[in-house]
């Protein structure tokens, strides 16, 4: 596999707030391995999220909850090798930051030191605020995530839009302001009504990255597999599919299988030659072995 071309020079984290000021939209996509990180880089994406959505998209679980630190470190390490210019944000999996500030810092340090992540993302507000303070205090940039927070989907009553009443919208705004005050450099707003997300975006100095939260956010994030149509089945309503790669891949695999079964792959062009005299000597060796 070719490793070129790709861009060099990391996007400075401080540029994100400048982009917000200039009204320049920020583009984020998830990536979970070297090729997806490299492709995101080559496409000029600003932020790569090694999301715990990997538990579902690449590990085959039913939710994000089973993702472990070891799973996420492996995936983040590979994605970071490919994503040189984009800032790489590693998602802290369920259980890696809920227990204590100390454990959150210990695990986040692993993402930075062992995987080459530039920042981490944590879900929620409330108890998460002290984690944000501890992490930023340790010098680790933190992205917040409010609205639909999949790690606590059960408590939220399922995968549903959040902030759909005035009081819930106000709670979200308060959470956003508290996370900003605690030091988050950016916030993901997931499945928040567009007008609410827009008001929150206007109230913050740090950029918001929306998913299912409308065009009023400072940037957008989509899951790699969703936007590329890398699996069959229904995607959430906020997903725009830019390709149907699952269908293309299936057709390619079926053609490959048919070629192998029909004996038409490999062709001469896919094989390596041996000099005629070497082949003659090899055959002579074989013949003499057969005689003994």
Question: Residues interacting with ligand KIV, by CB under 6 A?
Answer: 30, 49, 51-53, 91, 145, 188, 190, 211, 221, 223
Angstrom CA distances, 85 to 10, 37, 47, 72, 140, stand at 4, 10, 9, 20, 18
In the complex with ligand KIV, the residue whose CB is nearer, 242 or 282, is: 242
Q: How far apart are CA 77 and CA 154, in angstroms?
A: 30
Which position has the token pair 């408590």? Answer: 155
In the complex with ligand KIV, the residue whose CB is nearer, 134 or 223, is: 223
In the complex with ligand KIV, the residue whose CB is nearer, 7 or 58, is: 58
In the complex with ligand KIV, the residue whose CB is nearer, 7 or 25, is: 25
Q: Is 283 an active-site residue?
A: no
| Catalytic-role residue among 123, 180, 190, 198 | 190
Shortest distance (Å) from residue 221 CB to ligand KIV: 5
Q: How far apart are CA 98 and CA 104, in angstroms?
A: 7
Q: How far apart are CA 209 and CA 28, in angstroms?
A: 8
Q: How far apart are CA 177 and CA 185, in angstroms?
A: 12
In this structure, what token pair is assigned to residue 208?
A: 């918001």
Which position has the token pair 């009204």? Answer: 23
Shortest distance (Å) from residue 134 CB to ligand KIV: 21
3-state secondary structure of 153: coil
Active-site positions read 190
């Amino acid at each position: 596999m070719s490793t070129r071309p790709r861009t060099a020079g990391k996007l400075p984290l401080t540029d994100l707030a400048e982009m917000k000021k200039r009204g320049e939209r920020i583009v984020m996509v998830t990536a979970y391995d070297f090729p997806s990180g490299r492709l995101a880089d080559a496409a000029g994406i600003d932020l790569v999220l090694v999301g715990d959505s990997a538990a579902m998209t690449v590990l085959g679980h039913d939710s994000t909850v089973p993702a472990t630190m070891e799973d996420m470190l492996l995936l983040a390490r590979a994605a970071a090798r490919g994503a040189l210019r984009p800032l790489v944000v590693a998602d802290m999996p369920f259980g890696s930051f809920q227990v204590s500030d100390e454990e959150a810092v210990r695990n986040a340090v692993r993402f930075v030191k062992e995987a080459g992540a530039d920042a981490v993302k944590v879900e929620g507000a409330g108890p998460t605020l002290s984690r944000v303070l501890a992490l930023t205090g340790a010098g680790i940039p933190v992205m917040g995530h409010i609205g639909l927070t999949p790690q606590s989907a059960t408590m939220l009553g399922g995968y549903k839009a959040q902030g759909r009443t005035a009081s819930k919208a106000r709670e979200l705004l308060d959470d956003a302001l508290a996370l900003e005050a605690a030091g988050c450099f950016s916030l993901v707003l997931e499945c928040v009504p567009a007008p609410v997300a827009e008001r929150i975006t206007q109230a913050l100095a740090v950029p918001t990255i929306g998913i299912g939260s409308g065009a009023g956010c400072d940037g957008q994030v989509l899951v790699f597999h969703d936007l590329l149509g890398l699996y069959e089945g229904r995607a959430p309503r906020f997903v725009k599919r830019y390709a149907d790669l699952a269908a293309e891949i299936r057709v390619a695999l079926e053609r490959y299988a048919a070629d192998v079964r029909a004996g038409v792959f490999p062709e001469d062009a896919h094989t390596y030659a041996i000099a005629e005299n070497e082949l003659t000597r090899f055959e002579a060796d074989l013949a003499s072995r057969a005689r003994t």
